[in-house]
Amino acid sequence: MDLSDIRKELKKALKKERYEHSEGVAYTSAALAMRYDPLLVDKALLAGLLHDCAKYLSVPTMLRYCEAAGYDAGEKKFQNSGLLHAKAGAYLAREKYKITDPEIISAILWHTTGRIDMTLLEKILFVSDFIEPNRTKIDADVQARIRQLAFTDIDRAVYEVADQTCNYLNKKTAAISPLTAEVCNYYKEVCGRKEEK
Ligand code: DGI
Ligand code: FE
Ligand code: FE
Q: What is the pLDDT of residues 102-131, one digit of tens each?
A: 999 999 999 999 999 999 999 999 999 999
Res. 192 pLDDT band, cuts 50 70 90: confident
Mark 109-121 as b/e (b = at least 16 C-beta within 10 Å): bbbbbbeeebebb
Percent of the chain residues topping a pLDDT of 70? 100
| Ligand 1 atom at minimal distance to the Cα of residue 25 | 4
Burial (0-12, 13-18, 19+ Cβ within 10 Å), 141: exposed
| Ligand 1 atom at minimal distance to the Cα of residue 168 | 15
Task: Please answer whether residues 146 and 128 qualify as being in contact, where contact means their C-beta atoms are separated by less than 8 angstroms.
Answer: no
Residue nearest to atom 11 of ligand 1 (CA): 82
What is the pTM (predicted TM-score) of this model?
0.97
* Protein residues near ligand 2, an ion, with CB under 5 A: 52
SS3 158: helix
Q: What is the pLDDT of residues 123-175, one digit of tens each?
A: 999 999 999 999 988 999 999 999 999 999 999 999 999 999 999 999 999 99
Q: What is the pLDDT of residues 42-57, one digit of tens each?
A: 999 999 999 999 999 9
Report residues whose beta carbon is within 6 angstroms of any ligand 1 atom: 52, 55, 80, 82-83, 86, 111-113, 129, 165, 169, 174-177, 180
Centre of ligand 1 to C-alpha 166, Å, is 10
